[in-house]
Structure 1
């Protein structure tokens, strides 16, 4: 790839291979085939679709950006096995404590320089106000000289948090938004952005390039990729990302 070219290969669910600043990042690794998992904390998760790319076919991955480790729809069994083979995973401090290995934890607003890319953890709220007990979640902001600023939301449902990110960084030109309006019977409200709130987040961010992730492949998602696409109809910002096909988001 060209060092200044920004590209994304959508793998499925919250998982994508992002090329940015001359590095290759993997978001929230999920590589299991369809299955229903053993109940955990009274919740049964069902995966409905397998990955578009197998771990063996990813090529070089410089780092994983793991929003959180304690929910199987963001880190499943094969995804966790892959992390143990990667040179670096950047996640929450709780994930670093629990997973060990090459996982490094950042608190919100802490940064880590990787090559020429500065990775900053940013706050995320996994549900409506009062959902902090669901465990720590990070989003990420990526910056590199000569490159547009890029935001990966992780499982964030709070537009107030999106506003704090803009206050800190200014305009975010490229946004990877986890949507799907995830819902569970043990929790009230959307646990991730709805499609409408994703459109509002993009407006707050003033993003001209938006990619929707986490909009399919899990039964507890109540909105689809079509819903996400429709929420951005006529806005001129949504980038469609076919499964397993590399899409250039920005050329130098």
Structure 2
């Protein structure tokens, strides 16, 4: 299994014989204004797409955890082939079919494509009124014979939903969306340092990979900040924090046991 961070939450997976693109945000640097009601007015994305040998524009499968513009943007809708099979959460289908995609599957619970089994997991994109306004979000667990169990948590804070997913599926590799994204009011809507530390302590034998930093204006915790926080919690080096374009490979039995 190979996992490559493209940028923000956009991932390239080589898993179970499939090339999978997750949450494609493909727009050029600073094309989009700052998210409203956020702590600064910096334009998004903050960084360009990295140079990479990976042909991430031609995957076998797309996964979109939810349709906020830093996970699915107009550039992705225009540039990606319309016949690529696409997995999404129920309720989002019209966004993709309206953009011309012809092979869209809303995963209610479980789905199998070729040799890979997918399970959709819930999350909480914040707390209180802001969490309600952010709407439904999903993660996905991937399983295939001979591959480590992979859990992509999506845009969720640390709460009962990801804790239950870890208990149920016992993933060997976990990808979390960090950055502590927030608005001027309320608590973070993605994982901050304490949340990422909680994931690692809840799944001490798993490889935890933290992404979703340094690219969007309201992600207030940078990758440098996260590394510093984890070091202060005696978790230095225990969470992988990739650079844009960096990849990791994991074989069967990838847990740290």
Name the TM tier (shorter chain): 0.7 to 0.9
Match of 1:96 among 93, 98, 113: 93
Distance, in Å, in 1 between the alignment partners of 2:115 and 2:204 is: 24
Per the alignment, in what secondary structure is the counterpart of residue 198 of structure 1? Answer: helix
CA contact (8 A) 2:175 2:209 kept: yes
Q: What corresponds to 1:222 in structure 2?
A: 220
Q: Which moved more, 1:24-33 or 1:234-243?
A: 234-243
1:238 Cα offset (Å): 2.2
User: How far apart, in 2, do the equivalents of 1:142 and 1:56 lie?
Assistant: 21
Do the aligned residues in 2 keep the contact of 1:64 with 1:83 (CA within 8 Å)? no
Tell whether 2:81 aligns with 1:87. Answer: no
Q: What RMSD in Å do the two structures reach over aligned CA positions?
A: 2.6
CA-CA distance at 1:142 after TM superposition: 0.6
Name stretches of at least 5 consecutive residues in structure 1 with no aligned partner. Answer: 1-5
Aligned residues: 242
Which piece of structure 1 moves more, 145-154 or 129-138? 129-138
Q: For 2:71, what is the secondary structure of its paired residue?
A: coil
Q: Which residue does the alignment assign to 1:20?
A: 15
Matches within 5 A, 1:137-216: 137-169=137-169, 171-185=170-184, 187-216=185-214
Q: Output the TM-score relative to the length of structure 2.
A: 0.83
* TM-score, scaled to structure 1: 0.84
Q: Extract unaligned runs of 5+ from structure 2.
A: none
Q: Compared with structure 1, are the counterparts of its residues 41 and 180 closer, same or farther at alpha carbon in structure 2 (3 Å cutoff)?
A: closer
TM superposition shift of 1:84: 4.6
Contact 2:18 2:60 in 1 (8 A): yes
Q: What is the distance in 2 between the residues matched to 1:95 and 1:73?
A: 15
Deviation at 1:98, TM superposition (A): 2.7
Q: 1:157 to 1:56 in 2, by over 3 A?
A: same
Query: In the alignment, is the contact (CA less than 8 A) between 1:159 and 1:201 conserved in 2?
Result: no
Q: Return the alpha-carbon distance in structure 2 between the equivalents of residues 173 and 251 of structure 1.
A: 9
8 Å Cα contact 2:10-2:24 kept in structure 1? yes
- Tell me if the contact between 2:16 and 2:115 (Cα under 8 Å) persists in the aligned partners: yes
